[in-house]
Chains A and B, each alone.
Chain A
Amino acid sequence: MVNTRRKVAFRWWSKKSFWFWLFTSSFLLFIRFSKGAVLLDAFSIFSRPFWPGTAQKEWIVNGINLEQQIRIELLEKDNHRLREILKLKNSITKSQVSAAVISRRSRDFWQQLELNKGSNDGIKKGDAVLGPGGLLGLIETVTFTTSRVRLLTAPATKIGVWIERSKVHAVLTGVGTNRPQLNFLEKMPDAQSGDIVSTSPVSTLLPPNLPVGVIQSINYQNLPSPYAVVQLIASPEAIDWVRVERTNDKR
């Protein structure tokens, strides 16, 4: 009797379909347990041209800004109420007016800006001028339609400030360079580089708690008291529009 059957062993690993299903199922398991690693990467590559443009991003950023603005307003009102209870000087009876810079001389001996709004818009001598980021200077002179800003960097500009972190008071003096000098009133002030400098909450000339700058370095060797070098937050060299805080209180 002739056995027609070939003497070949059945080898399951030689089946193509076996390998196909093994590969497919292990791939699916890999995706399942890696939480879709390869799949999502591929999706991000293919969908890149359809990602939301900058316009949508701006909406979101604007929304965040609006939310922060509302929060600031609420906090300011709260602050105002508390300061009234404490009978502290208040300058929240103020309104802001935005003005364009029509002449800018921020590097010469006279470091000043000319604004396109003046006493017609209720601007008075001594009003605070703010750029994006913080205080830029004070109104020095006013005409009917223009006003002149003495920048914080101008020589002999002096304002009372404090370091919010350690409640140290000091005098910010312009020396002509881009970075004004912070003269401390005590021998060993609690200050370090990186501290935020803002207008003093007990100031009678300026609205309280306006951000001014950041301390860069401190010279403890100076006599009679140490001084610090302050980098202003608002840079007058690149600003076209400023805000003037009109204070309506009596001086």
Chain B
Amino acid sequence: MTRDKKRVLYQLLGLLVPFLTLISPAWISISGVGPRWAEIWLLPWALEEGPVAGVFAGFCLGIVLDGINLDGSTQLPALILFGYWWGCLGRKSKFSDRSFVLGFLILFGSFISGLSIWLQTIFQVDGIFFNAWSFYTVLAGGIVSGLIAPLLCTLSLNFFFKGKS
């Protein structure tokens, strides 16, 4: 398979993100909080395709995820931001053989996007600025994503984005 075909295949794989989010399998979750599948898909894509494609993919994923989540908070800004940042990072160096760095990037990305949702919920719930539940959810989402990301991101970088174009 040529690299272009694999690229299309990876785009199609992006369709799995909302379904995985909906299924939220209980065996990959830290007491109910599953991985942030959008970030896990976005990282290899943005690293390889650059900031513009990263921002666009982040935008599309954000729109879809806001469609399947309850109203009130959006993941859109965080996904666009990370699409851009990871796109810029990818231009500078190759990440496909550094699984620890990939895991750390996902951990950081999930943590920050969780924080952005927390900030939005502060204004919805009256008078609660710090609650243990939000902090716990942010942390659990980050950790579980960071744990499976090295495996999934390294595999997809090696399979979809290596080879001759």
Contacts and interface: CB of A to CB of B under 8 A. Distances in A.
B70 A176 contact: no
A11 B32 CA distance: 87
Given A173-B126, A175-B125, A175-B128, A111 B70 contact: yes
A111 B33 CA distance: 11
A156 B121 CA distance: 8
B23 interface: yes
A108 B23 contact: no
Interface string B62-80: 0000000111110000000
A156 B124 contact: yes
A175 B23 CA distance: 24
Interface residues of A, number: 22
A68 interface: no
B133 interface: yes
Contacts of B69: 109-110, 112
B32 A108 contact: yes
A103 interface: yes
B151 interface: no
Interface stretch (A37-45, A79-87, A147-155, A186-194): A147-155
Interface in B108-138: 114, 117-118, 121, 124-126, 128, 131, 133-134, 137
Contact of B24 (A108, A154, A156, A176): A108
Nearest to A111: B70
B14 interface: no
A140 B70 CA distance: 8
Contact of A176 (B34, B114, B126, B137): B137
A154 B133 contact: no
Contact of A140 (B71, B117, B128, B134): B71
Contacts of B33: 107-108
Contacts of B29: 107
B165 interface: no
B141 interface: yes
Contacts, number: 63
Nearest to B122: A155
Contacts of B70: 110-112, 140, 148, 150, 154
B93 interface: no
Contact of B22 (A103, A154, A155): A103
A150 B70 CA distance: 7
B124 A155 contact: yes
A167 to B, nearest CB: 25
A149 B117 CA distance: 20
A180 B137 CA distance: 16
B77 to A, nearest CB: 15
Contacts of A176: 121, 125, 131, 133-134, 137
Nearest to B128: A175
Contacts of A107: 29, 31-33, 137
A184 B137 CA distance: 28
Contacts of B114: 109
Contacts of A109: 69, 73, 114, 117-118, 121, 134, 137
Interface of A: 103-112, 114, 140, 148, 150, 154-156, 173, 175-177, 237
24 contacts: A103-B22, A103-B23, A105-B24, A106-B32, A107-B33, A108-B33, A109-B69, A109-B73, A109-B117, A109-B134, A110-B69, A110-B70, A112-B69, A155-B72, A155-B121, A155-B125, A156-B121, A173-B126, A175-B125, A176-B125, A176-B131, A176-B137, A177-B133, A237-B32
**Interchain residue pairs A-B with the least CB separation, the first 10:** A107-B32, A156-B124, A110-B69, A103-B22, A176-B133, A110-B70, A177-B133, A155-B121, A155-B125, A109-B117
